[in-house]
């Protein structure tokens, strides 16, 4: 069975063809980094306009790379939320049009479920139950996944998502957009113990996250470092920038790792999956790997291409839903705040 997946939840236009729910026949992603970089973050109106411009070339490329045509498809899967509503509407509208014209089954997919499903593309023998951390520019959610298509929310951010915090700190430092890769690169030459940034914790023992206090601490630290600079000198030296990046990154990683490991222990879960763009961060991967190995827990992390937004993960999640008999009606619509559970 060939499933065409379509993903336009934020600032990537993506399409993929998946065979039998596991084998990726093609995966095409058109990035919008150059569109949003001048603004230091995503501009929703610009994102939706760019999706309109490239969605058809992306679809044509995905079909060509897979060596198939629309007549060869068995079904379609499309992201319906959460995300930017204008961006989502582009993908949903195109998917509905193709499904209607070709008389194909259609299923809507939750973007967060797609990120979790990405793990099964590279680790098909993965078993339940498991803990899943979805951590990206717009999402920081921690789930208990007891079985296929079952999700229990254990924790989520109460303010900024982790990726947003990376972007904002990078903007404060004048490092450009997106913030995650550039902060990780700068941090390689810095001291993660140079600045003692806070790690947010809640008195009730909640597994929720908070990154706003960490971001504010960075602001105060930059002000203090600037006041200490000699008159006429740049506010921060290159080494100070690297130290800020390393210390901030370590604080963010420490919070993520602590919550995930506590969730795995509290719920006796032997498998941890991390997904989403921030899961590409090497420090996070290494820290979780060390903690998981020490406690005999299996850590599963998709390759970077499957951690960032893509349509193969949407097709994978959609294939499961289709196999379970789910079908969307023609009233399928975008849902910007769609919960997973």
Q: How confident is the model at residue 318 (pLDDT cuts 50, 70, 90)?
A: very high
Dihedral sign computed on CA atoms, order 310, 314, 317, 319: negative
β-strands 140-147, 150-156 pairing = antiparallel
Residues 110 and 82 in one domain: yes
Which pLDDT value is given to residue 227? 55
Tell me if 297 sits within 8 A of 303, measured CB to CB. no
β-strands 298-300, 271-275 pairing = parallel
- pLDDT tens-digit series, residues 198-240: 999 999 999 999 999 999 999 999 988 875 554 444 578 999 9
Residues 196 and 66 in one domain: no
Q: What number of helices (H) and strands (E) belong to the chain?
A: 11, 10
Give the total number of structural domains in the chain: 2
Residues 96 and 153 in one domain: no
pLDDT value at 106 more than 60: yes
When pLDDT is averaged across residues 169-184 and rounded to a whole number, the result is 94
Q: What is the rounded distance in angstroms from the CA atom of residue 98 to the CA atom of residue 111?
A: 20
- For the chain, the average pLDDT equals 95
- For a pLDDT cut of 70, what percent of the chain falls above it? 98
Residues 146 and 168 in one domain: yes
Residues 21 and 158 in one domain: no
pLDDT value at 123 more than 90: yes
Which pLDDT value is given to residue 225? 84
Whole domain around residue 27: which residue ranges? 2-116+306-323
pLDDT value at 325 more than 90: yes
Two structure tokens written together for 287:
């820290």
CATH number at residue 272: 3.30.420.40
When pLDDT is averaged across residues 50-79 and rounded to a whole number, the result is 98
When pLDDT is averaged across residues 317-325 and rounded to a whole number, the result is 98
Query: What strands lie across the sheet with 106-110, from one edge to the other?
Result: 23-31, 12-19, 2-7, 75-81, 106-110
Largest Cα separation within the chain, whole Å, is: 71
- Helix, strand or coil for residue 107? strand
Q: Spell out the residues 6+ positions from residue 114 whose beta carbon is closer than 8 angstroms to its own.
A: 7, 79, 313, 314, 316, 317
pLDDT value at 143 more than 90: yes
Tell me if 36 sits within 8 A of 46, measured CB to CB. yes
- pLDDT tens-digit series, residues 262-316: 999 999 999 999 999 999 999 999 999 999 999 999 999 999 999 999 999 999 9
Residue 149 lies in a domain: yes
> Among 75, 99, 253, which Cα is nearest to 163's?
253
Chain-centroid distance of CA 267 in Å reads: 24
Residues 103 and 70 in one domain: yes
Calculated CA dihedral for residues 89, 91, 93, 98, nearest 10 degrees: -170
β-strands 130-135, 106-110 pairing = unpaired
Residue 87 lies in a domain: yes
> 0.85 exceeded by the pTM?
yes
Query: Which residue has tokens 């004048």?
Result: 174
Residue 296 lies in a domain: yes
188: number of Cβ within 10 Å: 12
Residues 90 and 49 in one domain: yes
Query: Which residue has tokens 């291409």?
Result: 305
Backbone dihedral angles phi then psi of residue 324, each to the nearest 5 degrees = -80, 5
Which pLDDT value is given to residue 233? 47
Residue 95 lies in a domain: yes
Query: Which residue has tokens 């899961």?
Result: 279
Q: How confident is the model at residue 40 (pLDDT cuts 50, 70, 90)?
A: confident
- Helix, strand or coil for residue 141? strand
Query: Which residue has tokens 């969605």?
Result: 55
Residues 164 and 267 in one domain: yes
Residue 34 lies in a domain: yes
Residue 195 lies in a domain: yes
Residues 100 and 237 in one domain: no
Residues 108 and 175 in one domain: no
Dihedral sign computed on CA atoms, order 61, 66, 71, 73: negative
β-strands 75-81, 271-275 pairing = unpaired
DSSP class of 67: T
């Amino acid at each position: 069975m060939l499933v065409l997946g379509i993903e336009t939840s934020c600032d990537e236009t993506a399409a993929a063809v998946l065979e039998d729910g596991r084998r990726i026949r093609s995966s095409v992603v058109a990035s919008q980094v150059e569109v949003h970089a001048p603004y230091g973050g995503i501009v929703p109106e610009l994102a939706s306009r760019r999706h309109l411009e490239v969605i058809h070339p992306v679809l044509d490329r995905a079909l060509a790379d897979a060596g198939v045509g629309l007549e060869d498809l068995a079904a379609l899967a499309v992201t319906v939320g959460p995300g930017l509503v204008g961006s989502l509407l582009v993908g949903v509208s195109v998917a509905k049009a193709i499904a209607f014209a070709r008389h194909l089954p259609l299923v809507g997919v939750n973007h967060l479920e797609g990120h979790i499903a990405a793990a099964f593309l590279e680790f098909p023998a993965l078993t339940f139950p498991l803990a899943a951390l979805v951590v990206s520019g717009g999402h920081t959610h921690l789930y208990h996944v007891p079985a296929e298509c079952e999700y229990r929310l254990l924790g989520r951010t109460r303010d900024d998502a982790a990726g947003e915090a990376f972007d904002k700190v990078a903007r404060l430092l004048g490092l450009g957009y997106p913030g995650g890769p550039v902060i990780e690169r700068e941090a390689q030459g810095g001291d993660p113990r140079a600045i003692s940034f806070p790690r947010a914790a809640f008195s009730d023992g909640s597994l929720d996250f908070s990154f706003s206090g960490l971001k504010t601490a960075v602001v105060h630290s930059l002000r203090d470092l600037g006041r200490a600079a000699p008159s006429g000198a740049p506010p921060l030296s290159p080494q100070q920038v690297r130290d800020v990046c390393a210390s901030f990154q370590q604080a963010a990683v420490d919070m993520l790792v602590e919550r995930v490991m506590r969730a795995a222990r509290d719920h006796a879960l032997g498998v941890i999956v991390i997904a989403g763009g921030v899961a590409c961060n090497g420090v996070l991967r290494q820290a979780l790997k060390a903690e998981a190995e020490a406690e005999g827990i299996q850590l599963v992390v998709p390759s970077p291409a499957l951690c960032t937004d893509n349509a193969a993960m949407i097709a994978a999640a959609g294939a499961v839903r289709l196999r379970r008999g789910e079908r969307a009606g023609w009233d399928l619509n975008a849902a910007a705040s769609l919960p997973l559970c």
